[in-house]
Each structure stands twice: as C-alpha cells, then as structure tokens.
A and B are shown apart, each in its own frame.
Chain A
Amino acid sequence: MQQTNAAPLRLTAREQDMLDGRDGEAVALAMRLVTGVARAVAAERLLEVASAHVDGCLYHGRAGLDLAERLVALGGRVAVRTTSNVGSLDLMHPGLVRTTEDTAPARRLMEAYLALGCEPTWSCAPYQAGHRPEPGSHVAWAESNAIAFVNSVLGARTDRYGDFIDIAAAVCGRVPDAGLHRDAARRAGLVLDFSAIPRALLAEDVTWPVIGALLGDRVGTRVAALTGLPGDLGDGGRTEDRLKALGATAASTGGVALFHVVGATPEAPTLEAVAAAGAPVVEVTTADLRAARDRLSTASGDRLDAVSLGTPHFSVSEFAALADLLEGGPAFSPGVDVWVSTGRRVLEDATARGYVAPLLAAGGRVLTDTCTYVTSVLRPGTGTVMTNSGKWAWYAPGNLGVDPVLGSLAECVSSARAGKVVRDERLWR
C-alpha cells in the first residue's frame, strides 16, 4: 500500500492570505496551482522567487489562452520581473510568418501576457536581454534551454517549469521548495571527462552543441560534471555562447536542466565542489563525439535549401562573429534562404554596432519574437537545412519535416555562399 510519508505543506501566514484571496482572485488562482503542484511533489514549504521567465506565450491551443485571459480578467499582474519566451508570431516583422487559423489566438495570447505585466522580450534567451538573476537566487524559469542556462551558467536556481506553472509562479511570486531549488539535487551524480579530446576540436564552435547532444544522451535528466573542457565566462561571450549551445542541445536530446563545467561554471570551481567522491567517471572519446554529431544530421548529399541560425536566439557576440565571416565576401546563393532568429534587444544592439548590415547585404533575413523551428517561416518544399544549432537539428525533422545538417557558423556561411553543403571533416577523424 502506498503511504504518504511527507510532512504536509506548510504555508506562511502571508501565503495563506494570498491563497484565501486577500491579494485578489488572480493571486488566489495562482496560489491554488502552485500549492497543488507543491503537494504533488511533497514539498514542505514554498520559496519566494526573484524573477520569472514564461514560456506559455507560445500558442498550443485554447486552454493556454483561456488561463492567460482568466488571469487578466481577474486583475492579475506579475509580482516579480517576468520576461516572455518566444511567441508564435514575429510582431516586429509582420508577413515573415505565414498566417494560419492559429494566428489570431496566438496574437491574443501574446497580448494577454503583456497585460499581465510580462516584458515583451519574446526571446528564449532572456539572459541576452539583461535578465540575469544573481547566483544562488531562486527563480521560476520555463523553456528548457533557459532553464539549463540560468541554472548552469548563471548559478541561479530553478526547477523545470513549463506551461501554466510559469505564469502562476510569476503572479504569486512563489514556487514549491523542491527539485533543483534544493542543494542535494544540484550535485553531480557522474562525471564526463573530455581530457582526451584534441584541443583543436574543442576550439570549434560546432563541437559544443555536439558535446550537449552526447551529454543529454548519456545522462538523461541527471546532473553531470564535465571536466577537461576549456572555458572562461569572462571572455566576452565566446564561452557563454558555447555553453548556451551545449545546454540547449542537452536539454533536447536528454532532459538536462543543470550541468557543471568544472573550472568555468559558478557552482563548480573544483570537481569536489559539485560531485561526491567516487562519482563514476566516463572518458569521452573523439569517436563518441563523432557519433553524436552524426545523429544531428539526417540529410545525405550536398543539396541545400536553407540555413537557420539562432536557436537559441543569436547573441551580440554571435552577430559579431557572423559579420566577421561575411566581411568582404560574396553574397549568399539565391537558392539558399538564410535565417537568423534573435531577440529584439540583441537585434537593436547588434544593429547599432554594425553587425547586422553585412547579413542583410548578403541576402540573409532576421526573425525576431519567434523562431524558425516553432512557426511557419521556411518556404514550403524546403528539404535540407543547415544549422549551427544542435537543438534545431534535433527537433527539425519532427516539427518541420526537413532534413538538418549540423555545421559550424563558418561552414553555414560557406555553404550558403556555395549553394550546397560544405563541411570540413578533417577535425572529426
């Protein structure tokens, strides 16, 4: 017989008032959802959060819209700083996303989240839009790459939040004291050692989503410590971009919500700081990485229809690297559509620095507020798409019915110019 061993959930007097409607019906509804989840995970108390990032603004059907509009009708407002993830539409560039029967409710959904007080970041990378919680602070973040990033790279604490609980936590400012909010759950149960990987391979940007694919595949939802990897989060964006790509891919192929790169990420100055003595160590080989890379490409031959960059959303430093590659070179082949997905804030900053003009001059296009893998942007009939994103490559066959090829940023540019897939295989042998 199943026993209920947990101590009951205890609310503070303040929280009980919120649940009883003292702060209005929207807060009471949000508290019913948060306490409902807290009881189900056997949490003994709630935690206050410093910020939230909500993913519910991507349209999946009427229930999500009904909840957002109910909260608005009840006078709901977010209680903490709350950024919005991508929606289903590009509000800045109408016409890039094809209109469907879901366009009108998708727009209503995005408007409801604004009415609740969410910032119109419409980005899966709020950490590139100035939303960077303090290390050790508790937050309620949704969207798998954002969760992995805020936990691993910023060292703030979120559990895996998703639709409904994200906005509920934002409105009442509370989450269950459970999961990755707790110290013990943040320790690594195993170690992946990359000491045997050639440094030249680790210097390539494309290697990092591949490491993520391998990590997700090996650990599933567990927390791992990664050793033998270079990294300095103070290097002006390069390491941050790499870990963004690693985490996004690991969250897709596995369910990774936290990883530690020893010597680089904030909770892991040393291996001992994050892993128990005697934690199993897996030695990763170049052959392992090659196999992980191969799983992210389903296309064969060199045909190329499109290039998609910016999943998660392109950063200012990635725009700078792209501008460098495009400098003085030829335009993209007319047969290849080149898309870069990014957030509004990054687009503004990168444009002001002159990093976006070379992309547009070469024939590329920028998509904001949404992403090429969740909405109707690629032209019908698109078959093979090259991307520098492991996450895009993982989801594209199922979501879009296209065949991806993973490549470095430089390979994506060379291929877009040549009108066919061009990859350098030498480093992977």
Chain B
Amino acid sequence: MSGCGADLVGESLHPGVARGPLLVLVEPVSFWGGVDATGVIVDARHPQRGTSLAGRVVAMRAGRGSSSASAVLAEQIRSGHAPAALLLGERDTVLLLGALVAAELYDARLPVVLIGESDFAALDGGEVEVRAGDPPTPATVRRAGGDPR
C-alpha cells in the first residue's frame, strides 16, 4: 500500500472525516432510481440489490445515470441515510454536488475521495476511517482499529 503511514492515499474532492464499514460496489449504481430514500439499493439489475449504503464507506468506480442523483444524495444526507463517505474511481461531479449542497444547507460533511485504479482493486472490507482535507489536498483511507495492513 501507499506510504505516508496510511493504507491508501487519494485526492480529496470534498472535505470531511468519516468512519464506517467499507462497501465496494461491484457495479456503479444510479442514486436516482437505483437507491431508495433509506439508502438501500433497489435497482433490480444491480448484483448488490437489497444492500444498504447508509453509514458505509462506499467505493464505486464511476457515477451512473441522471444528474438528479445530486438531489437524492443531498436528501439522504439531510435525512441521515447517506453513505458515511464516497470513494470514487472517476471525477464525478453529480455526487459531489450532493455533498457540496448538503454541506451548505445542513452543515453535514460527507467526504468524497478520488482513488486510483490499482488502489480500487485492492479494496476489500472492514472498518475504515476517511480523512479528506480541502481539495485538492490528499485524502487518507485507513483501516480502523490499529490493524495496519
């Protein structure tokens, strides 16, 4: 893994600190139409249908679908059903905007981190802590509980 004493270093797209179980999505999901208001995947074609994103550090390679996903994510953040953090494999402004607007309206900071392809492939599970500073500074993703890999 990368240096700096962290398990993984990415680029901060939106600042914040969060901790939660890591959930790696095997396919991107559209937050509009594909995830319900409580954060559960409802897209019938998604292999992880029924899984909840709420409170988890969610890793997805790319955004998918309608730009209205911004509004859905902001609403989940407002109602307490959003992921704890997002780790993205691509620069996705739709989900980022949901986080930006929720920070403005509800003072809730959901860190959004861009990570590289090789780091993405190495993600598995477990409890992780995400620390993202003001963009474009680096962000760290550490395995929580003092068990460095």
Residues in B with CB closer than 8 Å to A198 are none
B135 within 8 A of A: yes
Q: Whole-angstrom distance from the CB of B27 to the nearest CB of chain A?
A: 15
Contact A41 B66 (CB under 8 A): no
A2 x B114 contact (CB < 8 A): yes
* Chain B, interface residues (CB within 8 Å), range: 35 or more
B3 to chain A, nearest CB (A): 7
Q: Cβ of B136 < 8 Å from any Cβ of A?
A: yes
A residues within 8 A CB of B58?
Answer: none
Contact partners of A29 in chain B: CB under 8 A: 104
Within 8 A of A (CB), among B72-112: 72, 74-75, 77-78, 91, 93-94, 96-98, 100-102, 104-105, 112
Most buried by B among A6, A66, A163: A163
Stretch of B9-17, B48-56, B123-131 that contacts chain A? B9-17
Chain B hits for A42, CB < 8 A: 91, 136
Q: Which residues does B use to contact A, with CB under 8 Å?
A: 2-4, 9-11, 13-14, 32-33, 37, 66-68, 70-72, 74-75, 77-78, 91, 93-94, 96-98, 100-102, 104-105, 112, 114-116, 119, 135-138
Measured CB to CB, the closest approach of chain A to B15, in angstroms, equals 10
Residues in A with CB closer than 8 Å to B9 are 1-2
Give the interface centre of B10, B91, B101 by most chain A CB atoms within 10 Å: B101
Contact residues, A156-171 vs B (CB, 8 A): 160-165
Is the Cβ of A33 less than 8 Å from the Cβ of B11?
A: no
Q: Which of A2, A37, A39, A61 contacts B115 (CB 8 A)?
A: A2
Interchain Cβ contacts under 8 Å between A and B, 17 examples = A2-B115, A2-B116, A2-B119, A4-B137, A33-B104, A39-B136, A40-B91, A40-B96, A42-B91, A60-B72, A66-B105, A67-B105, A162-B70, A163-B97, A165-B70, A165-B93, A165-B97
> With the chains together, A200 CA to B68 CA distance in Å?
39
Contact (Cβ within 8 A) B75 A63: yes
- Give, as a whole number of angstroms, the nearest-CB distance from B132 to chain A: 12
Q: Is A402 an interface residue (CB 8 A)?
A: no
Question: Does A397 make an interface contact (CB < 8 A)?
Answer: no
Beyond A36-B135, A40-B96, A40-B135, whether A162 also contacts B102 by CB under 8 A is no
Top 9 nearest A-B pairs (CB, nearest first) are A162-B67, A63-B74, A61-B75, A1-B2, A60-B71, A39-B135, A40-B13, A63-B75, A163-B70
B11→A4 contact, CB < 8 A = yes
Given A1-B2, A64-B71, A66-B105, is A164 in contact with B136 using a C-beta cutoff of 8 Å? no
Q: In the complex, which residues of chain B have a beta carbon less than 8 angstroms from the beta carbon of A6?
A: 136
Is A218 an interface residue when CB atoms closer than 8 A count as contact?
no
Complex Cα gap A37–B95 (Å): 10
Q: Contact string, A372-406, partner B, CB cutoff 8 A, digits 1/0? A: 00000000000000000000000000100000000
Roughly how many angstroms separate A8 CA and B136 CA in the complex, as a whole number?
8
| A60 and chain B: residue at smallest CB distance | B71
Does A70 lie at the interface of the complex (its beta carbon under 8 Å from any beta carbon of B)?
Answer: yes
For residue A1, which residue of chain B has the nearest CB?
A: B2
- Residue from the list A4, A32, A56, A142 in contact with B104, Cβ < 8 A: A32
Docked CA distance A364–B10 (Å): 57
Binding site for B on A (CB under 8 A): 1-2, 4, 6, 8, 29, 32-33, 36-37, 39-42, 55-56, 58, 60-64, 66-67, 70, 142, 160-165, 398
Within 8 Å CB of B94, what residues of A? 162
A63 with B101: CB separation less than 8 A: yes
A41 to B70, CA, bound (A): 16
Among A8, A40, A58, the most chain B Cβ lie within 10 Å of the Cβ of A40
Extra pairs beyond A1-B4, A2-B116, A66-B105 (7, CB < 8 Å): A1-B2, A4-B138, A8-B136, A29-B104, A36-B14, A41-B93, A61-B75
- Asked if A164 contacts B97 (CB within 8 A), the reply is yes
Q: Which residue of A39, A58, A61 is within 8 Å of B72 (Cβ)?
A: A61
B96's partner among A36, A70, A163 (CB-CB below 8 A) is A36
CB <8 Å contact, B78 and A62: yes
CA distance A44 to B57 in the complex (A): 30
Interchain CB contact under 8 A, A4 and B105: no
Closest CB in chain A relative to B36 CB, distance in Å:
12
State in angstroms the CA–CA spacing of A8 and B104 once bound together.
23
Minimum CB–CB distance for A45 against chain B, Å: 15
Chain A residues near B13 (CB-CB < 8 A): 39-40
Chain A residues contacting B100 (CB-CB under 8 Å) are 32-33, 36-37, 164
A161 closest partner in B (C-beta): B67
Which residues of chain B are near A41, meaning CB under 8 Å?
Answer: 91, 93
